Amino acid sequence: MGADVERLAQDIIAQYRRLAPDRRLLIAVAGRPGSGKSTLAYPLADHLNELILGHPVARAPINAATAVASPPAQRADDDVAICVGQDGWHYTRAQLDLFPDPEAAHWRRGAAFTFDLGSYAAFVEALRVPLEAAAPIPFPTFDHKLKDPRPSPTPILPRHRIVVVEGLYTMLDEPGWREPAALMDRRVWVEVPRDVVFRRVLKRNTEAGIVSLELAEKRVNQSDMVNGDDVYAHRFEVTDTIYPADVPQ
């Protein structure tokens, strides 16, 4: 874990210590596609647990078929911090089939309009309910093997006082998205050069089975990079910027 991420963790812990007993601390982690949002966010939640509890939080075993594509679900009896991936709010492929232009919807899957914004906003609002009145909060996760969302086996519980939400649109300053972004206590932007994320996402697309490099480049340019540019240009009040130490030159 880099020095800037360690400083971020320590700042979050200090903020957590000052937190009113009936509130949660909400942390958004965003960045361009391929910037390493989940690579930062899930270990950050683990590290916060270790700092608070004084011991590592064990994770449940994960299916080898999805180990690379999907961050493992966190499981513990005493965890305080938990990480949630915004990808769980993708519309399903069946829902995209019902769009006015299904072909365009599938091609642009990952754009803001292909997410269930209403459900995501309701989830973030539920995290703001005072803890004495809070019930377990279910949320969806994205199954990369099925290529569709599914319910997470681990809901947000009252003991989860720190919730890290990672995803492309967690701090998008556009109508509908702005409101959940404003409910976050911290908004962390993962800054990686555009040319680096292009190469990463291109590799991801080719490894996912797109048949030709030409088609993969077309999709990255027309979808992923467009989404990333839109998010970069419309960020809501970034509080922290992280520059990953492992970015290749």
Could you write out the three-class secondary structure of the chain?
CCHHHHHHHHHHHHHHHCCCCCCCEEEEEEECCCCCHHHHHHHHHHHHHHHHHCCCCCECCCCHHHCCCCCCCECCCCCCEEEEEHHHHECCHHHHCCCCCHHHHHHCECEHHHECHHHHHHHHHHHCCCHHHCCCECCEEEECCCCEEEECCCCECCCCCEEEEECCCCCECCCCCHHHHHCCCEEEEECCCHHHHHHHHHHHHHHCCCCCHHHHHHHHHHHHHHHHHHHHHCECCCCEEECCCCCCC
Six-digit token string for 98: 């019902």
- The per-residue pLDDT of the chain, averaged, comes to 89
Confidence of residue 55 (pLDDT cuts 50, 70, 90): confident
Q: 30 φ, ψ to 5°?
A: -135, 170
Nearest to 222 by CA among 106, 75, 124, 76: 106
Residue with tokens 């994960």: 62
Which domains, and CATH codes, for the chain? 3-242 (3.40.50.300)
For Cα atoms 117, 208, 33, give the angle at the middle one, nearest 5 degrees: 45
Instruction: Tell me what the mean pLDDT of segment 163-189 comes to.
Output: 98
Six-digit token string for 77: 């009896």
pLDDT in tens, 205-247: 887 665 678 888 998 999 999 999 999 999 999 999 999 875 4
Amino acid code (one letter) for 134: A
Six-digit token string for 236: 């809501």
Residue with tokens 């320590």: 10
Question: Side by side, which strands form the sheet with 25-31?
Answer: 81-85, 162-166, 25-31, 186-190, 240-242
pTM: 0.89
Confidence of residue 66 (pLDDT cuts 50, 70, 90): very low
Confidence of residue 151 (pLDDT cuts 50, 70, 90): very high
